[in-house]
Amino acid sequence: MFSRALALAAVLFFGLSQVAFANPIGIWSRASPAGETKIQIEECEQQYCGTVVWMENPRNDTENPDPELRDRPIVGIQIFNDMVKISDTQWNGSLYNPENGKTYSGSLIIINSDTLKLQGCIIWPLCKTDVWTRSEL
């Protein structure tokens, strides 16, 4: 009886920990040659969206293909807003890259509770992957 209870407890613990780390909501840090950027991921109408909330070296969206948007600050831009759940640890949608002003099809993949992988593709297999870490603002 004790071993059954222990087995059940282990299943519940590991099952719950799996669910806990499969949640992308929060602040994530991305390192790049232009400096660190922090993105807030939140739920937006049954999908996930990600907004730039802080930049080490703030700048404007100068590479945007729309000339009227080139003077807006990158802080505050939603870089994705349509990530749809594909599995317990993956969401697919489109990604805007303010570094070059292009939008790509992409995936958000949870690696563990503090790490996610964001992959943007022109067409598969022509993809670029960033690893983000959970952070605070």
pLDDT for 87-137, tens place per residue? 999 999 999 999 999 999 999 999 999 999 999 998 878 899 999 999 998
Instruction: Pick the closest to residue 85 from 108, 113, 105, 52 (CA basis).
Output: 108
% of the chain beyond a pLDDT of 70? 85
pLDDT-derived band at 5, boundaries 50, 70, 90: very low
Q: Residue 68's pLDDT is what?
A: 97
Look at the pTM and tell me if it is higher than 0.75.
yes
The mean pLDDT value for 41-57 works out to: 94
* Burial zone of 116 (CB within 10 Å; 0-12 exposed, 13-18 middle, 19+ buried): buried
Does 73 have pLDDT greater than 60? yes
pLDDT-derived band at 65, boundaries 50, 70, 90: very high
